[in-house]
Structure 1
Amino acid sequence: MSEVKKIATRESYGNALVELGKEHEDLVVLDADLAEATKTGMFKKAFPERHIDCGIAECNMIGVAAGIAATGKVPFASSFAMFAAGRAFEQVRNSVGYPKLNVKIGATHAGISVGEDGATHQCNEDIALMRTIPGMIVINPSDDVEAKAAVKAAYEHVGPVYLRFGRLAVPVINDNAEYKFEIGKAITLREGTDVTIIATGLEVSESLAAAEKLAADGISAEVINMHTIKPLDEASVVAAAAKTGKIVTVEEHSVIGGLGSAVCDVVAEKAPAKVMKIGVNDTFGESGPAVELIKKYGLDADSIYAKVKAFVK
């Protein structure tokens, strides 16, 4: 069997910006002295006149992006998730969200898979922060194909968008002719009858692997890729609750305020069912190899398999 291709979604972000830049002269990319890490350096090389390095000043960068958007151009402001969503939260809320400006935020290095950079840089709270801002679209793509499609969709959407990308190379799982990305529309990757696993970001591939292991034990697990956290595909959640009666959410993010919380809001209001949330459990991360951290925090396929099996039984 050939080895599965793996690509970090931050790479996909850089490549997608270059391709969009060829088609749209109104696209401008801003960075906070992290062009090499966020991969916006690709855009800088191709279109230096449309790339602005704002220095280590993310709050100012968001303000500059807001100003550029007000002129009719489409800025993509890029930095690590911890800085784009955390450090610059006030500016994102007041300078972008409140006036509903057409700013796209490309947040890379999200979650504990940042690895050796440690707890200060492992942002497990960004989805929670961004989904509280009125009108903000929040997207967390699962692989290279989806990340590129998400960047294109973000450009085409008029209004603020938060895009979450990772540092760790992840399997390409959406490389097929049937794949279609649409903001707010979940994708069912595997049918099942006993339990529904709703996953986002790099946890989608881990959840698919867990579903294979569950199948070997006679447990039929449905797997849904919820790439858009806001607006959430509520219809898919309601349908899953009616179909299997048991839902497991999986995210490389805090279990507080992220995908799990969004799903629970829908289930409680519209479709009562049992829900288990798998994610980072009210704790900070730590320094270490990304793959080992994912295992330690129970976000790998084996851990998901064991938790879902116990939940179903």
Structure 2
Amino acid sequence: MSDLKKIATRDSYGNALVEIGAQYDDLVVLDADLAAATKTGKFKKVYPDRHIDCGIAECNMMGIAAGLATTGKIPFASTFAMFAAGRAFEQVRNSIGYPHLNVKIGATHAGISVGEDGATHQCNEDIALMRTIPGMVVINPADDVEARAAVKAAVEYYGPVYLRFGRLATMVFNDESTYKFEIGKGIVLREGKDLTIIATGLCVTESMLAAEKLEKDGIQAKVINIHTIKPLDDELIIFAAKETGKVVTVEEHSVIGGIGSAVSDILSESVPTQVLRIGINDSFGESGPASELIKKYGLDSEGIYTKIKDKLYS
């Protein structure tokens, strides 16, 4: 797996917009003075008349996107996750979520893998915030193939969608010729009988590598990629919990309110199961190279492997 090519999902976002823009004349892309970073500049180059730079005014951008949606356009409001989910939360909730408008939010630079930009820009709370908005779909793709498929699915879906993308280049493990994306459906990447690892985003590949390490210790881990955090694939998660008896969630997000919380909510109601949540433990990030931060916060394969062994098999 380490030999696979790597692409940042923010690049996938920009490439997907260009590709889909040719099919949907009513697709409009908005940005908040970050087109180079969010990669929407690629769309601007090809479709300059359908790209709107709103300046450093994210709250206003969400309002503009809402207005465009009421005219039949399909707006993609793009900026860093910290600004899309954090700074503009009220506008997303009241102007987009409440009237259930057909607005797509492309949130790049999520999580601690933003790296050197530091804690102020490393949004580890966005999934928690977006999950609370009624009717909001929340998607966190794991690689380039999945990210581009997610953008296409978002266009085809009517209603508000929050798409989470990363700055760090990640392994492309999906085969585009056979991959199928469906909103609300998880994907079993590896079968196992001893525990289930449920991962999302860049933590999916690291969880697969951790499962390989566990196998050497005689532990068979089932690995599930949950790209859609809301609506969640309740059926798959409950089945896996019954099958293996132990569940581990892994995310580049706070353990509070993210996929770990979502999975725990379901299992506590349906099939009480031991759940180990691996993520950011109620702390801010810090400035540093993305790969070193991933390692320091225990989100690399070795960190995931070690936590599972210490908490579940010591």
AA aligned to 2:51 is H
The 3-state SS of whatever aligns with 1:138 is: strand
Residue 150 (structure 2) pairs with residue 150 (structure 1): yes
Q: What SS class does the counterpart of residue 29 from structure 2 fall into?
A: strand
Structure 2 SS opposite 1:95: helix
**1:24-35 paired onto structure 2 within 5 Å:** 24-35=24-35
Superposed CA offset, 1:154-197 (max 9, x none): 00000000000000000001125432110000000000000100
Kept in 2: contact 1:142–1:227 (CA 8 A): yes
Answer yes or no: is the 8 Å Cα contact 2:209–2:301 preserved in 1: yes
Tell me the residue number matched to 1:85.
85
The count of corresponding residues between Structure 1 and Structure 2 is 313
Match of 1:51 in 2: 51
The residue aligned with 1:122 is 122
| Partner Cα distance (1:255, 1:2) in 2 | 27
Looking at structure 2, the residues matched to 2 and 292 of structure 1 have their Cα atoms a distance apart, in angstroms, of 17
Tell me the CA shift for residue 309 of structure 1. 1.9
Aligned to 2:168: 168
Percent identity, aligned pairs only, is 75
Matched residue of 2:192: which SS? Answer: coil
Q: Which amino acid aligns with 1:248?
A: V
Partners in 1 of 2:230 and 2:153 — Cα distance? 14
**Aligned equivalent of 2:14:** 14
Matching residue's letter, 2:224: I
Kindly provide the CA deviation profile for residues 226-284 of structure 1, in whole angstroms up to 9, marking residues without a partner as x: 00000000001100110000000000000000000000000000011100000000000
CA distance in 2, matches of 1:244, 1:2: 27
CA deviation map 1:15-55 (0-9, x unaligned)? 00000001110000000000000000000000000000000
Matching residue's letter, 1:47: Y
Superposed, 1:1-313 pairs within 5 Å as: 3-175=3-175, 177-313=177-313
Secondary structure at the counterpart of residue 23 of structure 1: coil
- Cα distance, 1:4 vs. partner? 1.3
Q: What is the rounded CA distance, in whole Å, between the counterparts of 2:40 and 2:73 in structure 1?
A: 18
Distance 1:260 1:191 in 2: 20
Provide the rounded CA distance (Å) in 1 between the counterparts of 2:79 and 2:22: 22
- Give a deviation string over 1:54-100, Cα, whole Å, max 9, x none: 00000000000000000001000000000000000000000000000
**CA contact under 8 A between 1:194 and 1:312: conserved in structure 2?**
no
Mapped partners of 2:156, 2:214: distance in 1: 39
Does the CA contact (< 8 Å) of 2:215 and 2:221 recur in 1?
yes
- In structure 2, distance between residues paired with 1:46 and 1:212: 43
The 2-side partners of 1:47 and 1:179 are apart by 28
Q: Supply the distance in 2 between the matched residues of 1:62 and 1:233 (Cα, whole angstroms).
A: 29
TM-score, normalized by length of structure 2?
Answer: 0.98
Structure 2 runs not aligned, ≥5 long:
none
1:107 to partner: Cα distance: 0.0
Return 5+ residue gaps in structure 1 as ranges: none
How far has the Cα of 1:2 moved from its partner?
A: 8.4
- Indicate conservation of the 8 Å contact 2:145/2:176, yes or no: no
Distance 2:177 2:109 in 1: 29
How much has 1:307 moved relative to structure 2? 1.1
Residues of 2 paired with 1:269 and 1:278: CA distance? 21
Q: CA deviation at 1:308?
A: 1.3
Check whether the contact 1:195–1:312 (CA below 8 A) recurs between aligned residues.
Answer: no
Taking the aligned partners of 1:212 and 1:2, their CA distance within structure 2 comes to: 12
Give TM-score scaled by structure 1 length. Answer: 0.99
The separation in 2 between residues aligned to 1:143 and 1:9, in whole angstroms, is 6
The 8 Å contact of residues 246 and 275 in structure 2, kept in 1 or not, is answered as: yes
Q: CA 1:49–1:110 in 2, change beyond 3 Å: closer, same or farther?
A: same
